[in-house]
Chains A and B, each alone.
Chain A
Amino acid sequence: SYVLTQPPSVSVAPGETARITCGGNNVGSKSVHWYQQMPGQAPVLVIEYDTDRPSGIPERFSGSNSGNTATLTISRVEGGDEADYYCQVWDTSDDRGVFGGGTKLTVL
């Protein structure tokens, strides 16, 4: 079955840029979606189809996907961005949804 690998944690100072990676075999050929989950809350879609921002998501959030790595980039990080972030794909070979293990973003 398909596996997505994320770093358990990423730390960044306020105002800096955070990059959260999502690794998978030829993930660049798949559509990757990213979710933000605050403690005790449901996840929120922040990037869909590799690069698209749903309505209401700040322009500071962007995505890219190529080769074996997809990346969520958060520019000018704020304290309110501290959360868990998950990448996700639909694996068409198995017809299954797949989530990465999640990355905890800490704002120093």
Chain B
Amino acid sequence: QVRLVESGGGLVKPGGSLRVSCAASGFTFTDHYMSWIRQAPGKGLEWISCISGSGTVIYYADSVKGRFTISRDNAKNSVSLEMSSLRDEDSAVYFCARERSALANWGQGTLVTVSS
């Protein structure tokens, strides 16, 4: 069955950097877009970014464009989100999900807290 496991969350100071990753299994990884979505405490879902199966097509939300970089390693079935110039408002649970449109499977999320 499809399994997505995020890792790498933690506490980081404003202006700092952090990399979160997602290990995928149970499906042909290169056939699918992968997406990142976040949820601030007590708030709704916010789409962040997605990357095509080959890694050649990438999209970002305006709120993170220029600060976050999505990438994937198809040899390791993993997708990552490199986050820099972090702000308080980037504090959230970060979920990875399979697909771009209908997000068929989600990981359990990893918590990123930006605070001094």
The answer to whether B102 and A48 have CB atoms under 8 Å apart is yes
Question: Contact at A95–B101, with CB atoms within 8 Å?
Answer: no
The answer to whether A1 has its CB under 8 Å from any CB of chain B is: yes
Give the contact-size bracket for chain A. 20 to 34
Query: Shortest CB–CB separation between residue A61 and chain B, in angstroms?
Result: 14
Q: Total number of A-B contacts with CB less than 8 angstroms? A: 60
Known: A31-B101, A86-B45. A96 touches B106 (CB 8 A): no
For residue B47, which residues in chain A have a CB less than 8 angstroms away from its CB? 88, 96-99
Q: Choose, from A10-18, A20-28, A39-47, A66-74, the stretch at the interface.
A: A39-47
What class of interface size applies to chain B in its complex with A? 20 to 34
B108: A residues at CB distance < 8 A = 41-42
Q: Which of B37-79 contact A (CB under 8 A)?
A: 37, 44-47, 50, 59, 61-62
Interchain CA distance A86-B102 in the complex, whole Å: 12
- Closest Cβ–Cβ distance, residue B23 to chain A (whole Å): 15
0/1 interface trace, chain B 7-49, chain A, CB 8 Å (1 if under)? 0000000000000000000000000000101000000111100
List the 6 closest A-B pairs by CB distance, nearest first: A97-B47, A48-B102, A42-B106, A102-B44, A90-B101, A99-B45
